[in-house]
């Protein structure tokens, strides 16, 4: 019976497919990050307080922004280069050496920027030491070999390593973080455990996969940086648009308000992953259908789009209704402003789902320039609108700015597609 069922539904073939394995392990990595983040929130709020929790997250936001500089598009370009040279150990060795060297140099540059900002210009006054101790996260990002294992299609090990790193971080919070004065060690521990695990993975790459580490070839590093400039700026613009709200709020408010907004924002950023994961999941099949059968492509994308909108609406509606309970569980207290922020931001996942169709069209048609333009137009709108609204209405204004940004990028993509690829737009929306 099981043999017949396997013939009808060949699950084993799907599971053995390396592309599906890559996606599943990436989902495991993302899910474990989300889960540990959710578990750590009530522990941190209880141990260091809402105001210090907000400052820790503000420092983390600055570091994550600088990590875009450290990554510099390598996380998108390097997996392709690794995949092309899977069987050539010498070429892989040079590639790996240059990418890691380039990212380490960028991490050093980012660290110098932080230290000059703190000690040279006296910036980030309320969380200077938290930010300085968070610098280790830059080197954790630089040594993360996720791109290498993606290209080699060997994601199992790094997904396990990521989970182990996050569990060590959670254990560190329980054992060592007990008072507001210890808040500077939170991000430091995340970077420390991440860097330690990454160095073990590099040892595995060298010893078991026979990849040698050469001295950096600065001409090759400079060429790769030049080739990744467009990817870097696209990633930077998208990140600022999606995650820059907390930094904007810090110019107008501090302490408890930052903490309450940070709690709501982190929850929303977790559920906002849904449309991004959908795009990653459907992109390979969409690209194939786009080139082979345009009619089937539009039918497939329309069917997916309708379901995505439905699920997005359910996620947003559920988050709005459950906001008081979610905040109470995570913070172990009644934070009315956090509830208000979460209810306002609960619409973000649905609005992000609106653009799933447009982004998929841009990707399958390889319209990188349009995607780049859309990213920076969205970024410019977000900074201007959110700053003005935050200055006028505080945290509520920032929420309105974030919501309007999601709607604006949908309209921007529509207009760009209409002006450059009208046939795609008509095929999808007709």
Element (H or E) spanning 106, and its range? helix 89-115
User: Is 237 within the bounds of a domain?
Assistant: no
Within a domain: residue 6?
no
Q: Which of 227, 251, 284 is at the close of a domain?
A: 227
> Residue 319: how many CA atoms within 13 Å on its side-chain side?
27
Q: What percent of the chain has pLDDT over 90?
A: 37
pLDDT of residue 209: 87
Angle between helices 89-115 and 218-227 (to 10 degrees): 80
Which tens digits make up the pLDDT trace of 147-182?
888 777 677 888 889 889 989 999 999 999 988 889
Q: Is residue 208 domain-resident?
A: yes
Query: Are both 289 and 193 inside the same structural domain?
Result: no
Looking at the fold, whether 282 and 197 belong to one and the same domain comes out as no
- Among 148, 149, 143, which Cα is nearest to 21's? 149
The range of the structural domain enclosing residue 121 comes to 12-227
When pLDDT is averaged across residues 367-371 and rounded to a whole number, the result is 79
**Same-domain check for residues 222 and 290:** no
Q: Kindly state the tokens that stand for 428.
A: 């999808």
Tell me, yes or no, whether 218 and 286 share the same domain.
no
- My answer on whether 222 and 276 are in the same domain is no
User: How far apart (Å, rounded) are the C-alpha atoms in residues 403 and 197?
Assistant: 37
Q: Decide: 72 and 228 in contact? Cβ < 8 Å.
A: yes
Residues 281 and 221 occupy one common structural domain: no
Say what the pLDDT of residue 4 is: 47
With tokens 């703190």, the residue in question is: 118
Confidence of residue 21 (pLDDT cuts 50, 70, 90): low
The token pair that represents 102 in the structure block: 């380039």
On whether residue 388 sits in a domain, the answer given is yes
Check whether residue 208 and residue 65 sit in a common domain: yes
* 70 and 149 in a common domain: yes
The count of structural domains within the chain is: 2
| 204 shares its domain with 337 | no
Q: Any residues with CB less than 8 A from the CB of 31 and at least 6 apart, and which?
A: none
Do 40 and 189 fall into the same domain? yes
**84-99 tens-digit pLDDT:** 787 888 889 999 999 9
In a domain, 241, yes or no: no
Q: How high is the pLDDT of residue 255?
A: 65
CB-based contacts of 305-308 (< 8 A; 24+ apart in sequence): 305/356, 305/357, 305/428, 308/275, 308/278, 308/353, 308/356
pLDDT for res 253: 74
What value does the mean pLDDT take over residues 386-395? 90
CA atoms of 316 and 274, how far apart (whole Å)? 11
* Same domain flag for 279 and 193: no
Residues 76 and 202 in one domain: yes
Encode pLDDT of 267-309 as tens digits. Answer: 888 788 788 777 766 765 677 778 788 888 889 889 989 999 9
Does the structure show a pLDDT above 60 at 11? no
Residue 8, pLDDT score: 45
Cα–Cα distance between 84 and 349 in angstroms, integer? 36
Residue 239 in domain: no
Residue 14, pLDDT above cutoff 60: no
Domain membership of residue 255 (yes or no) is no
Report how far residue 162's alpha carbon sits from residue 145's, in angstroms, rounded to the nearest whole number. Answer: 11
Residue 4 included in any domain: no
């Amino acid at each position: 019976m099981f043999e017949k069922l396997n013939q009808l539904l060949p699950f084993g073939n799907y599971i053995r497919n390396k592309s599906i394995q890559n996606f599943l392990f990436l989902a495991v990595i993302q899910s474990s990050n989300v889960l540990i983040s959710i578990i750590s929130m009530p522990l941190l709020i209880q141990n260091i307080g809402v105001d210090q929790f907000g400052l820790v997250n503000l420092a983390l936001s600055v570091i994550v922004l600088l990590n875009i500089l450290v990554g510099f598009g390598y996380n998108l370009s390097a997996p392709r280069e690794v995949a092309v040279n899977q069987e050539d150990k010498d070429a892989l060795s040079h590639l790996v050496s240059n990418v890691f060297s380039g990212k380490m140099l960028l991490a050093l540059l980012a660290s110098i920027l932080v230290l000059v900002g703190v000690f040279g210009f006296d910036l980030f006054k309320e969380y200077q030491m938290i930010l300085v101790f968070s610098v280790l996260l830059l080197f954790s990002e630089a040594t993360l070999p996720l791109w290498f294992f993606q290209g080699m299609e060997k994601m199992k090990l790094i997904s396990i390593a990521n989970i182990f790193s996050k569990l060590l971080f959670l254990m560190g919070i329980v054992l060592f973080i007990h008072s507001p004065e210890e808040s500077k060690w939170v991000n430091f521990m995340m970077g420390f455990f991440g860097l330690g695990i990454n160095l073990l993975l590099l040892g595995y790459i060298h010893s078991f996969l026979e990849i040698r580490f050469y001295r950096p070839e600065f001409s090759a590093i400079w060429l790769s940086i030049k080739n990744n400039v467009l990817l870097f700026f696209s990633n930077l613009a998208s990140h600022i648009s999606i995650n820059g709200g907390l930094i904007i709020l810090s110019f107008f408010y501090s302490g408890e308000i930052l903490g309450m907004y940070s709690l709501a924002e982190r929850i929303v950023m977790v559920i906002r992953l849904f449309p991004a994961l959908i795009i990653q999941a459907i992109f390979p099949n969409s690209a194939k259908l786009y080139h082979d059968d345009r009619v089937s492509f539009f039918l497939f994308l329309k069917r997916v789009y309708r379901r995505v909108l439905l699920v997005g609406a359910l996620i947003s509606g559920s988050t709005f209704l459950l906001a008081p309970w979610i905040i109470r569980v995570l913070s172990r207290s009644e934070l009315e402003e956090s509830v208000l922020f979460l209810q306002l931001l609960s619409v973000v996942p649905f609005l992000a789902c609106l653009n799933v169709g447009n982004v998929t069209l841009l990707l399958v048609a390889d319209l990188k320039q349009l995607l780049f333009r859309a990213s920076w137009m969205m970024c410019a709108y977000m900074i201007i609108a959110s700053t003005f609204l935050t200055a006028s209405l505080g945290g509520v204004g920032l929420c309105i700015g974030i919501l309007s940004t999601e709607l604006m990028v949908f309209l921007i993509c529509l207009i760009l597609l209409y002006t450059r690829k009208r046939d795609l737009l008509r095929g999808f929306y007709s």
